[in-house]
Amino acid sequence: MSAPARVLELANASVLVFPDRVSACDAAAERVAHALRSAVATRGQAILGLATGSTPEPIYAHLVKLHREGTLSFANVATYNLDEYYPISPLDPNSYRSYMHRHLFGAVDLPANRAHVLDGTVPESAAAEHAAQYDRWIAADGGLDFQLLGLGRNGHIGFNEPTDLSAEAAMRLPTRLVDLHPTTRADAAKDFGGESRVIPRALTVGVAPILAARSILVVAFGPNKAESVAQSLRGPITAQVPGSLLQAAPGTVTWILDEAAAQAL
Ligand code: GLP
């Protein structure tokens, strides 16, 4: 397993800093694989919360490699993805359903009916009920054993954007339909061929079900993330920086960073 260059132990988080993204993603993938195997060994199944974005792509590639080598099975796994644009067809290449099919679902033995992604095609009148049902499904599966998270440049987790709510109220936010923050829309412009073409709303797993995961792994790379990483780990717990709400998570929280993302810590 790749070794971090340095480890910081903070109040409720372990921060592992790697010299480069390749070794960081190898270590992150090994942690996902370990969480999967130990949940299957102890409970008979693993319930994984998964993330999209550019950061986790090499992590999924590593998991697919382990599966092809015959050392990792998803047969007893259920996955719940964090978010999905709204509205969007699952066939749209920019949908997170299609991202997950390309990077993981299409290459491993995860049962198709256990690979959950919020549905960007539900009528708007049914979106709130669909989101509430997603939370009930996670609860009925026994809650998340493990949540893989990226971090937005503005500190968002999933698509839980900065808000004026109190930290306590933000920590109770359920899965729901949200408006995307201007920074998020700017960052997604490259995928949609221009900022004006970015779908401005999304369904996101709420802060509450994320925080309830028994174990959380946050992965962030590059200098653009340094400020939100530092605010999330060292700053006050505030809904203006959703990543800082992870300081209140009752489960174990691990951060895997490269040196650039760790530079403001
Ligand atoms: C996207 C996703 C998030 C992700 C974040 C970072 O908007 N909805 O779940 O963590 O932005 O993306 P990236 O890894 O591409 O920097």
CA of 221 from ligand 1 middle (Å) equals: 11
pLDDT at 11: 86
Identity (one letter) of the amino acid at 192?
A: F
In a domain, 2, yes or no: no
- Is 53 close to ligand 1, i.e. is its CB under 6 Å away? yes
pLDDT in tens, 228-241: 999 999 999 999 99
Is residue 209 a part of any domain in this protein?
A: yes
Handedness of CA 133, 137, 134, 172 (dihedral sign): positive
pTM for the model: 0.97
Q: What is the mean pLDDT of residues 86-92?
A: 98
The answer to whether residue 175 sits within a structural domain is yes
> Starting from the edge strand earliest in sequence, which strands make up the sheet with 13-18, in order?
6-9, 13-18, 252-258, 215-220, 146-149, 46-50, 77-81, 115-116
pLDDT in tens, 118-172: 999 999 999 999 999 999 999 999 999 999 999 999 999 999 999 999 999 999 9
* pLDDT at position 2 over 80: no
Backbone CA torsion sign across 105, 151, 128, 120: negative
The residue segments making up the domain with residue 107 are 14-258
- Residue minimizing CA distance to atom 6 of ligand 1: 152
* Ligand 1 within 6 A of CB of 98: no
CATH number at residue 88: 3.40.50.1360
Q: What SS3 string covers the chain?
A: CCCCCEEEECCCEEEEEECCHHHHHHHHHHHHHHHHHHHHHHHCCEEEEECCCCCCHHHHHHHHHHHHCCCCCCCCEEEEECEEEECCCCCCCCCHHHHHHHHCHHHCCCCHHHEECCCCCCCHHHHHHHHHHHHHHHHHCCCCCEEEECCCCCCCECCECCCCCCHHHHHCCCCEEEECCHHHHHHHHHHHCCHHHCCCEEEECCHHHHHCCCEEEEEECCHHHHHHHHHHHHCCCCCCCHHHHHHHCCCEEEEEEECCCCCCC
Task: Report strand pairing: 201-204 vs 176-179.
Answer: antiparallel
Is 164 buried (19+), middle (13-18) or exposed (0-12) by CB count in 10 A?
exposed
Q: Is the minimum distance from the CB of 88 to ligand 1 under 6 angstroms?
A: no
Torsion angle defined by CA atoms of residues 196, 99, 47 and 257, in that order, rounded to the nearest 10 degrees: -70
Note the pLDDT tens digit of each residue in 38-61: 999 999 999 999 999 999 999 999
Residue 54 Cβ inside 6 Å of ligand 1? The answer reads: yes
Does residue 51 line the site of ligand 1, with CB under 6 A?
A: yes
Q: Which residues are catalytic?
A: 83, 154, 156, 161
* Any domain includes 61: yes
What is the average pLDDT across 172-198? 98
Q: Which atom of ligand 1 is nearest to the CA of 56?
A: 14
Which residue minimizes the CA distance to atom 11 of ligand 1?
152
> What residue's CA is closest to ligand 1, atom 13?
53
- Residue 7 covered by a domain: no
Ligand 1 pocket, mutate which of 55, 147, 148, 232 (most atoms under 8 A from CB): 55
Average pLDDT, the chain: 97
For ligand 1, atom 3: residue with the closest CA: 158
Residue located nearest, by CA, to atom 10 of ligand 1: 150
Q: Is the confidence at residue 1, as pLDDT, over 80?
A: no
What's the structural domain count of the chain? 1
Residue 188 lies in a domain: yes
3 within a domain of the structure (yes/no): no
Q: Listing from the earlier edge strand, what are the strands of the sheet with 201-204?
A: 83-86, 201-204, 176-179
Q: Would 264 be classed as within a structural domain?
A: no
